Amino acid sequence: MIPLIADYRPTLMQATPSFWHGLLMAGWRGDPELCVLAGGEALPTKVAEELLRCCGSLWNLYGPTETTIWSLKSQITQAENITLGAPIANTRIYILDNEGHPVPQGVDGELYIAGDGVAQGYDGQPELNAQFFLSEPGVPGGRMFRTGDLVRSDAQGQLFFVGRKDSQIKLRGYRIELGEIERTLARHPHVDAAVVACIERAPLHKALAAFIITSEPPSLFEQLKNELRQQLPDYMVPTLWQRVADFPNTDNGKIDRKRLAENFVADSSLVSPQTQALSDTEQMLLALWMRYLPIKNVDPECDFFRLGGHSLLAVTLVAEINRTFSLRLDPEGHFPLLHTTGTECAYCTAIYHGRCRVSG
C-alpha cells in the first residue's frame, strides 16, 4: 500500500484507525498534502498524534452502515481532544438512557441516529428491525437507528465516544466498560495501542486481558497496573497481559477482539520452561493451578494472582488443595499462601500435609 500511495499521491484518503496505524508502523512517513479521514472504530490518541504530525489534516468520522456510513464528523486539531463532532447535514441525533429518555449533558447514554441516511431496515429480519429501527419521537413518520454505542455530550454540543454497549461486561458482579480501560492505557507514553478483552478459558475463570503494542520489556506491565489502580477501581485492572506486534482485523478492517482473546498467550515473563526437577507436591499443585488458570504452562516461580487468579477463584482452588491433600485449610485465611510462588506454595502445602518437617 505504501508504494501505491507514493505513486498516486492522493489528496483525500479514508481508512480505519487500525489501517492507519499499520501504515505508520510499516514506515509510512505521511504526506503534508493529504487529508486523512479516519472512521470505523475509535481513533487512538497516539495514532492521531502521528497523523497530525505527518499529514495535512485529520478528520474523525463516525457512522454505522445502517445510517449510510457517516453521520457525524469532527476535524481533529489536537490529539488529546478527539470527539465525534456534530451531525452532518440532514442528520439528527438523540442520546437516550435505557428507558428511552434523554440524558443530561455529560452523562453517558446510547446514541440514536435519525434523518435521511437511515436505512429501511434489515432485509427479511423483522425481529431485528423492531429492535434497532424505531420511531423517531416527535417526527411523524420519522425513524431512527439504535447504534449500541455509548456517548456523552459537552457544553459545546460535541459528542465523545465512550464505548460499545455490548463491550460492557460483567465480571465478578461488576459492570465494566472495556473502552475506558483501553483509553486509560493508551495515554501512557510507552503504549502505542491497547485492547482489553475478557477471557474465559477455565471453569469459573473469567479474567481481563490487556493486549499491548509496545517496544518496552514486560516490566512495563507492572508499571501500567500500578498506574491503572490510581485511576480506576481495582476490578478494572487486567490481570493478564500480552505484548503483540499488531492487532488482527476483521474483514471490515476493524480490530478482531474475539480472535485476540482466542489466541491469548501469557507474556513469556509469566510462562517459562521448567529448569529444575519438580517434587511430586509441586507437580500436583501446579496441575491444580493450570486447571483454573488460562495458561497452559505455569512458571513455578510466579504467584497465583499474578498469573490471573482472583479471590473467588482462590476459594475454589484452596478447596481443591484440601481435597487433593486431605487438608482443612481455611480459604480466606490462606490467601497469602497463593501470593507465594508455586514452589513456595508447594513447600508450604507439603508442611501442612506432613510431608516434610520445619527445622530451625
pLDDT band (50, 70, 90) for residue 258: confident
**Is the pLDDT reported for residue 332 higher than 80?**
no
Q: Which three cell numbers stand for residue 50?
A: 502521528
- Collapse the DSSP code of 198 into the 3-class scheme (helix H, G, I; strand E, B; otherwise coil) and give the result: strand
The pTM for the full model equals 0.60
- Of 230-234, 317-321, 354-358, give the lowest mean pLDDT range: 354-358
- Collapse the DSSP code of 144 into the 3-class scheme (helix H, G, I; strand E, B; otherwise coil) and give the result: strand
* Residues 6 or more apart in contact with residue 217 via CB below 8 angstroms: none
pLDDT digits (tens, 9 = 90+) for 78-100: 998 999 999 999 999 999 999 99
In a 13 Å sphere around the CA of 24, the CA atoms on its Cβ side amount to 21
pLDDT digits (tens, 9 = 90+) for 134-173: 999 999 999 999 999 999 999 888 999 988 887 777 776 6
Q: What is the pLDDT of residue 266?
A: 54
pLDDT band (50, 70, 90) for residue 29: very high
Q: What is the pLDDT of residue 265?
A: 64
pLDDT band (50, 70, 90) for residue 357: very low
Q: Domains along the chain?
A: 1-62 (3.40.50), 89-166 (2.30.38.10), 168-265 (3.30.300.30), 270-353 (1.10.1200.10)
Tell me the mean pLDDT in the region 199-217.
78
Average pLDDT, the chain: 82
The phi, psi pair for 271, rounded to 5°, reads: -130, 125
Q: In angstroms, rounded to a whole number, what is the distance separating the alpha carbons of residues 269 and 349?
A: 25
| Greater model confidence, 279 or 57 | 57
Q: In angstroms, rounded to a whole number, what is the distance separating the alpha carbons of residues 36 and 158?
A: 20
* Residues 6 or more apart in contact with residue 353 via CB below 8 angstroms: 281, 325, 326, 327
Q: In angstroms, rounded to a whole number, what is the distance separating the alpha carbons of residues 141 and 137?
A: 9
**Is the pLDDT reported for residue 231 higher than 60?**
yes
**Is the pLDDT reported for residue 4 higher than 90?**
yes
E strand or H helix at 189: none
* Phi-psi region at 92: left, alpha or beta (left = phi > 0; alpha = psi -120 to 50): beta
Q: Which three cell numbers stand for residue 113?
A: 441516529
E strand or H helix at 276: none
